[in-house]
């Protein structure tokens, strides 16, 4: 099939999506899936395998969304299937300690230096929410600092945007969040040591925790300077404030030890989700035993979950870590292979973007990539992203979709490479982009 002339029929997707809108708000179970930012009907996906998804009309898409981050092995990985099927056949949940959760916990503890103990939950949101409660319980303080453009799930006190001014108390970014909650969250811009200094000089001793995506990847890909990270670590340590690395995206994606390993920074608590669940609902948070042992039943901070540590989900997580640690014929583990493929992606797209008439550049870290639709150096903070780029993204997005390639339906979302992708998939993306941008 000539990729430039493919006509996409979404007849059945349209029918399904109409049914969806009658019973699910916006037709979806999570808002960004509705395509509000790019327009059009979202393909209703029926099945997926490896690097490809297939919709209800039988259209196949080369997928760079990867279910928004979890699928580092690609779709329906055989090892994940084998282990989850085996676990499921032995019972889907016990409401009791079980070997698989202990094994996955041991794997994570041995992989990540800072973590001595962890607790499993069922989503990234639960992980960050619980980590913050724990930090508050540990420090006896209420205030939390986050950064504009970092996403930490949808818990009340984290659905907060920057107000105006240098050091701001958060304003709710959703209806239904009481000011009384958002007022406990401070918001600063990324990439600004002076603002951090000013805030910590004034209120450092009241701040329980700073939560940050060490590799901010929910509002573009806002890679931070190493000095900024070091400064944040030093300031928080000095003021007895816990540093929480929200590694829900970066954990087990950018390296075995996540961003903490890559950046050589030791946070106090780390949150996980996405990759550690291998495509099933899993989250976790962990840190030193000194902090973690404050959780119930040992300590005074309550936290619980009916399906936490679910054996089927644990099996998927174990299968994922197992495959990532396996080496290929050149002796490379999964993360090294993904770095190689990421470098290849960069080498293929950079010249195409340099030639394009519209400003466009690729920002990449390991297997995470983002199309930055503006001139100049890659932005490092949320307000450095030009809104005009977002309008141009729709054309690229739909052009790719017509050619059977799916990127995230928003200019602010990143793309993901998986071990199911190879160079020919990257070539396909490059070829399609050449046609669209010319
Ligand atoms: C996705 C994400 C979350 C929320 O995880 P859910 O599983 O969607 O609740 C939290 N933090 C970061 C950095 C994320 O990318």
Per-residue pLDDT at 388: 87
> For residue 249, which atom of ligand 1 is closest to its CA?
15
CATH 3.40.50.1400 matches 79-325: no
Residue holding tokens 């998986």?
418
For residues 34 and 17, give the distance between their C-alpha atoms in angstroms, rounded to a whole number.
Answer: 9
Residue holding tokens 């700073």?
210
Catalytic residue among 151, 272, 393, 412: 151
Pocket of ligand 1 (CB under 6 A): 123-125, 128, 151-153, 213, 218, 246, 248-249, 273, 283
CATH class of residue range 11-64+331-437: alpha beta
Catalytic residue among 61, 117, 274, 393: 274
| Inter-CA distances, 149 with 132, 160, 221, 376, 424, Å | 18, 10, 10, 20, 33
Supply φ then ψ for residue 18, to 5 degrees. -65, -45
Ligand 1, atom 5, lies closest to the CA of 124
158 neighbors 128 (Cβ within 8 angstroms): yes
Residues near 205 by beta carbon (within 8 Å), at least 6 away in sequence: 141, 239, 240
Compute the distance from residue 135 Cα to the ligand 1 centre, in Å.
18
- Domain positions in the chain are 11-64+331-437, 79-325
Per-residue pLDDT at 1: 42
Per-residue pLDDT at 165: 52
Per-residue pLDDT at 334: 98
For residues 107 and 317, give the distance between their C-alpha atoms in angstroms, rounded to a whole number.
Answer: 10
Per-residue pLDDT at 332: 97
144 neighbors 152 (Cβ within 8 angstroms): no
Residue holding tokens 């001595």?
116
Burial of 48 (0-12, 13-18, 19+ CB in 10 A): buried
Walk along the chain (438 residues) in steps of 10 and give the mean pLDDT of each run: 64 98 97 93 98 98 98 98 98 97 98 96 98 98 96 91 60 88 94 97 97 97 98 98 98 97 97 97 98 98 97 98 96 98 98 94 98 94 91 94 97 97 98 94
15: left (phi over 0), alpha (psi -120 to 50) or beta: alpha
Compute the distance from residue 155 Cα to the ligand 1 centre, in Å.
10
For residues 184 and 162, give the distance between their C-alpha atoms in angstroms, rounded to a whole number.
Answer: 13
Is 344 known to be catalytic? no
> For residue 247, which atom of ligand 1 is closest to its CA?
13
> For residue 30, which atom of ligand 1 is closest to its CA?
8
Other beta carbons within 10 Å of 60: 15
Catalytic residue among 63, 191, 246, 268: 246
């Amino acid at each position: 099939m000539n990729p430039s002339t493919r006509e996409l029929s979404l007849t059945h997707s349209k029918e399904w999506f109409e049914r969806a809108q009658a019973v699910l708000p916006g037709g979806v179970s999570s808002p960004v899936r509705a395509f509000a930012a790019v327009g059009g009907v979202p393909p209703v996906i029926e099945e997926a395998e490896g690097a490809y998804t297939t919709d209800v009309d039988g259209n196949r898409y080369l997928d760079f969304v990867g279910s928004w981050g979890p699928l580092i092995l690609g779709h329906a990985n055989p090892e994940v299937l084998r282990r989850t099927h085996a676990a499921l056949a032995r019972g889907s949940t016990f409401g009791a300690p079980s070997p698989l959760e202990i094994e996955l916990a041991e794997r994570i503890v041995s992989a990540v230096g800072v973590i001595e103990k962890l607790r499993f939950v069922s989503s990234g949101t639960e992980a960050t929410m619980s980590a913050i409660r724990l930090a508050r319980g540990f420090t006896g303080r209420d205030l939390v600092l986050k950064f504009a453009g970092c996403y930490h799930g949808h818990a009340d006190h984290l659905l907060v945007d920057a107000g105006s001014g240098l050091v701001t108390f958060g304003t709710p970014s959703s209806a239904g969040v009481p000011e009384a909650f958002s007022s406990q969250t401070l918001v600063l811009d990324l990439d600004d040591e002076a603002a951090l200094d000013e805030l910590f000089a004034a209120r450092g001793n009241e701040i329980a925790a700073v939560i940050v995506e060490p590799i901010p990847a929910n509002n573009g890909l806002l890679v931070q300077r190493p000095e900024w990270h070091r400064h944040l670590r030093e300031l928080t340590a000095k003021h007895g404030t816990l540093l929480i690395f929200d590694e829900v995206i970066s954990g087990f994606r950018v390296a075995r030890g996540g961003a903490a390993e890559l950046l050589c920074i030791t946070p106090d608590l780390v949150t996980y989700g996405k990759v550690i669940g291998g495509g099933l609902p899993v989250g976790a948070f962990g840190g030193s035993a000194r902090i973690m042992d404050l959780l119930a039943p040992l300590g005074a901070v309550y936290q619980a979950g009916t399906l936490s540590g679910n054996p089927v989900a644990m099996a998927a997580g174990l299968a994922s870590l197992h495959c990532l640690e396996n080496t290929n014929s050149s002796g490379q583990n999964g993360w090294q292979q993904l770095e190689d493929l990421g470098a290849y992606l960069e080498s293929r797209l950079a010249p195409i973007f340099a030639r394009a008439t519209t400003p466009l550049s690729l920002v990449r870290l390991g297997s995470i990539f983002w199309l930055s639709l503006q001139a100049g150096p890659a932005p490092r903070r949320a307000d450095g992203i030009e809104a005009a780029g977002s309008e141009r993204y729709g054309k690229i997005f739909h052009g790719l979709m017509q050619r059977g390639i799916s990127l995230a339906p928003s200019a602010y979302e990143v793309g993901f490479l998986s071990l199911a992708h190879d160079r020919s998939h990257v070539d396909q993306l490059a070829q399609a982009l050449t046609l669209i941008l010319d």
